[in-house]
A and B are shown apart, each in its own frame.
Chain A
């Protein structure tokens, strides 16, 4: 048996994904003529009756083609949601249910996907396997891989083939997606069904068109809250981890992008979703630039296999952040002053027309600071997680229509802006963990045309995470140099 790392990065007491066994196991009736439409709809899925608009559902259950599972189970007085794995008592609530006529508990954790209560039954296909048609020339991507990318690509491909669990640790700007293409191609050609899962909708929206372009002849389905192609089976799926709750034993390989990128500690829930959505024998690729401490330790102890790309595709080192003491930034901002050293940093870049991102520890501090910075330049804007215009604002910065953005950690990942310089204001604050700071620094020098730039941590007393983040980047650059992956 393989070491299942996924089950390690949750709390140690967490049991592996557990699915209540079907109420009754009915042998498959070979004489029954099943509905291919229902097969397509339910294959690899775990759905509520409301999500299955087929009158023939009951017939399929009776003939052993569809299995049924109770939505909630109770174990030693604690409820457990079969769909999302929630077992936090405060996230269950009882209500007088008119369907069962009882006081019926339901799961509040996944309520946005429709209510799963004690009297709910979830359905899943258990009849013949659904097969996808995969053309021989499925991949049309014609780019080339760097040396580091090539080695990683081969390792990923073999891990998918042999159903391994693999940590794929690559620096920001290494070109991770391209590395996956060959592995995905090989898996598709051998009849495997794949899923790239990510905690963030933004990443789904960014990845899906790139994958559709690389694999134009097959269906690539993109799933996120409110997406349309929810019930079409596809050989390649890009999904938020949340949407994985609607899958069961569907995938031969799951690639988890930004495995550490959860906005809150949702480890148990991610582990559950992934374990449930993949087949019993399957590969798991954990993709990240900043693995958690637990993952790094498991890697060091050889409990977790890993492949690393310590250098960017353009063969330049990652810019090392510098630290500058700026006094009590919080108080100064409250008194409507920008710490002078920060004001100077911003003005220099405004003059040289260098686009900037200024990271703030909270929305509150940022909103206090915004009018002060707008006195330096009226074009400066602010973005945060609830900002509906987030995308437009980032595009404006990328296209040079605004000089810079003030932001919370929401833009720490997935943003590529050429020529960018970055400053973190109050970098000793608790929200700026080592991985957050490494990701923030990773925004700079990403393009081959402008591979350099500055990253500045303005602080009122250095934190351990700041020091660790700098060491982390230095370590990666050093490894890259030793492996001959840098030109300078």
Chain B
């Protein structure tokens, strides 16, 4: 009952206020300390209906951010991704945490976000959860897929409907380059996704190009509707 818990992010001991309730209900939710929780910036206020970005007065059009307006005006991309939901603002703290998680390979950090991911997904209707895959090369380097890890630790079953055929060194490419890139995914089992509502999972939504590529090929292969969830935006 008095087992010391450490914060998964900063490794400091989690101060849990002991109450009578704890005798009856084991409270297992304290994966991170209040300090780290405070450094996570939940996306709030008025947000883009399409991609969750926090909207500014000047840069919007009918509730969409200008990036999404651009996507939806492009006949090549219109209508594939129904909406993206993101949990947190991609601030310095989250940048550092995600870098440790996926580049250093600290899988345990996925669990720090598990309860947030699980809670959000509970309110999103879907038939199949599909993690954005890594290429074989990147998978061998990292040892796990960070998108899948986020879903797994949240207790969710995933289905690997996609295969990545191109390298994902996205961060070094411009928006134009990312969009123009030929399709980077392949659908593995079209029968399974036919007519299904699919929820894609990834760690970060940057330009939205990865998720839209995935949504496009899934829809073209017969999926009914595509939504996505990312940790950061």
Contacts and interface: CB of A to CB of B under 8 A. Distances in A.
Interface string A111-149: 110110100000000000000000000000000000000
B56 to A, nearest CB: 28
Interface string A68-98: 0000000000000000000000110101111
B107 interface: yes
- Residue from A97, A104, A108 whose CB has the most chain B CB atoms within 10 Å: A108
Contact of B152 (A90, A96, A97, A106): A96
B105 A106 contact: yes
Given A90-B6, A95-B149, A96-B152, A111 B143 contact: no
Contacts of B11: 91, 108
A115 B139 contact: no
A146 B144 CA distance: 59
Interface string B146-180: 00010010000000000000000000000000000
- Residue from B105, B107, B152 whose CB has the most chain A CB atoms within 10 Å: B107
A95 B144 contact: yes
A99 interface: yes
B104 A111 contact: yes
A93 B139 contact: no
Interface residues of A, number: 17
B98 to A, nearest CB: 14
A199 to B, nearest CB: 17
A106 B11 CA distance: 16
Contacts of B145: 98
A98 B104 contact: no
Contacts of B6: 90
B181 interface: no
Interface residues of B, number: 17
B16 to A, nearest CB: 15
B107 A93 contact: yes
Nearest to B12: A264
A243 B188 CA distance: 44
B136 to A, nearest CB: 9
A99 B140 contact: yes
B140 A115 contact: no
A96 B142 CA distance: 12
B106 interface: yes
A100 to B, nearest CB: 9
B106 A111 contact: yes
Nearest to A96: B144
B144 A114 contact: no
A96 B100 CA distance: 17
A106 B100 CA distance: 14
A385 B104 CA distance: 23
B105 A115 contact: yes
B104 A112 contact: yes
Nearest to B3: A90
Given A90-B6, A111-B100, A112-B100, A98 B108 contact: no
Contacts of B139: 98
Nearest to B136: A98
Interface in B29-68: none
Contacts of B152: 96
Interface in B112-144: 139-144
Nearest to A114: B104
A106 B140 CA distance: 16
Nearest to B105: A115
Interface string A30-62: 000000000000000000001000000000000
A93 B114 CA distance: 15
Contact of B106 (A50, A104, A108): A108
Contacts of B104: 111-112, 114-115
- Residue from A95, A99, A115 whose CB has the most chain B CB atoms within 10 Å: A95
- Residue from A104, A106, A111, A114 whose CB has the most chain B CB atoms within 10 Å: A111
Contacts of A115: 104-106, 143
A106 B107 CA distance: 9
A50 B141 CA distance: 9
Nearest to A95: B107
A388 to B, nearest CB: 11
Contacts of B143: 95, 97-99, 104, 115, 117
Contacts of B142: 98
Contacts of B149: 95
Nearest to B107: A95
A119 to B, nearest CB: 9
Nearest to A88: B6
A93 B108 contact: yes
Contacts of A90: 6
Contacts of A117: 143
B224 to A, nearest CB: 30
A48 to B, nearest CB: 11
B63 to A, nearest CB: 38
- Residue from A50, A97, A115 whose CB has the most chain B CB atoms within 10 Å: A115
Given A90-B6, A115-B105, A115-B106, A97 B100 contact: no
A108 B107 CA distance: 9
Contacts of A50: 141
Interface string B83-104: 0000000000000000010001
Contacts of A112: 100, 104
Nearest to B13: A90
A98 B133 CA distance: 13
B33 to A, nearest CB: 14
B36 to A, nearest CB: 13
Given A98-B142, A98-B143, A115-B143, 20 more contacts: A50-B141, A93-B106, A95-B107, A95-B108, A95-B144, A96-B144, A97-B144, A98-B139, A98-B144, A99-B143, A106-B107, A108-B11, A111-B100, A111-B104, A112-B100, A112-B104, A114-B105, A115-B104, A115-B106, A117-B143
Interface of A: 50, 90-91, 93, 95-99, 104, 106, 108, 111-112, 114-115, 117
Interface of B: 6, 11, 100, 104-108, 139-145, 149, 152
24 contacts: A91-B11, A93-B107, A93-B108, A95-B107, A95-B143, A95-B144, A96-B152, A97-B143, A97-B144, A98-B139, A98-B142, A99-B140, A106-B105, A106-B107, A108-B106, A108-B108, A111-B100, A111-B104, A112-B100, A112-B104, A114-B104, A115-B104, A115-B105, A117-B143
Cβ-closest 6 pairs across A and B = A95-B107, A93-B108, A115-B105, A111-B106, A99-B143, A111-B104
